[in-house]
Amino acid sequence: MSDSEEEAQDRQLKVVILGDGASGKTSLATRFAQEAFGKQYKQTIGLDFFLKRLTLPGNLNVTLQVWDIGGQTIGGKMLDKYIYGAQGVLLVYDITNYQSFENLEDWYAAVKKVNEESNQHPVVGLVGNKIDLEHMRTVKADKHQRFCHENNISSYFVSAKTGDSVFLCFQRFAADILGIKLNKAEIEQSQQVVKADIVNYSQEPVARTVNPPRSSMCAVQ
């Protein structure tokens, strides 16, 4: 076989997503792998798998094997086995749920325990999800940044609902694992346009005598 420059390289990476129940792990994986989102909460029992291919600079094809671990597995016997062999671990919390951020200490402790026992060192990232609910945020961004600095891990803010920064998060994370630096153009290309919901106020049961009528027009860029 020739060493043609066009010959693509293939890599497979195991990425494990951990965090409390309802923080949005399944939604994140589904948004990334299937470009879909479901509003209905369906608890993950055990775990789910997703596969997604992406191409990194240098014609590098990467298949991400995403392990979406159910939030109820914390403290269970199987968690160590799920984490074992991961090249990357994403710790996910919900920015509107302070407890989900605090509990990351426990999830991270489980990761460190497996690392010590197996002498492996996966790349770890912190993901603040649900940034579409910024107005309900209870975890300040500087708390998030402090966690990243103290543990020397990478930082992401995403919305699985709107898709905001989701692809970029996985792309940057895969690049991080492989020691590849993305340039500005590559990052910008991965930032999708976020679609906003158009709210039809005319269907809202508002007391017109108290509140002035509101416009149903909305500019979406």
Ligand X SMILES: Nc1nc2c(ncn2[C@@H]2O[C@H](COP(=O)(O)OP(=O)(O)OP(=O)(O)O)[C@@H](O)[C@H]2O)c(=O)[nH]1
Amino acid in position 217: M
Q: Which listed residue (13, 27, 67, 89) binds ligand X by CB under 6 A?
A: 27
Sites for ligand X among residues 120-179 (CB under 6 A): 129-130, 132-133, 159-161
| Contact letters for ligand X, residues 53-92 (x by CB under 6 A) | -----------------xx---------------------
Q: What is the DSSP string of 86-121?
A: -SEEEEEEETT-HHHHHTHHHHHHHHHHHHHHHT--
CB 166 within 8 A of CB 158: yes
Least Å distance, CB 163 to ligand X, is 9
- Cβ proximity to ligand X: between 37 and 60 the closer is 37
Run of H or E residues at 15: strand 9-18
Q: How many residues bind ligand X (CB under 6 A)?
A: 22
Sites for ligand X among residues 179-208 (CB under 6 A): none
Report DSSP state, residue 202: G
Rounded to whole angstroms, how far apart are CA atoms 187 and 74?
Answer: 34
Least Å distance, CB 64 to ligand X, is 17
Least Å distance, CB 59 to ligand X, is 32
* Binding range to ligand X, per CB under 6 A, among 37-45, 74-82, 105-113, 205-213: 37-45
- Cβ proximity to ligand X: between 13 and 169 the closer is 169
Count CA atoms closer than 13 A to 40's CA, side-chain side.
1
- Cβ proximity to ligand X: between 8 and 141 the closer is 141
Q: Is the dihedral of CA 107, 83, 79, 110 positive or negative?
A: negative
Complete edge-to-edge strand list for the sheet that includes strand 47-56? 47-56, 60-69, 9-18, 88-94, 123-129, 154-157
* Binding range to ligand X, per CB under 6 A, among 21-29, 54-62, 102-110, 113-121: 21-29
Rounded to whole angstroms, how far apart are CA atoms 64 and 61?
Answer: 10
Contact residues for ligand X, defined by CB under 6 A? 21-27, 38-39, 41-44, 70-71, 129-130, 132-133, 159-161
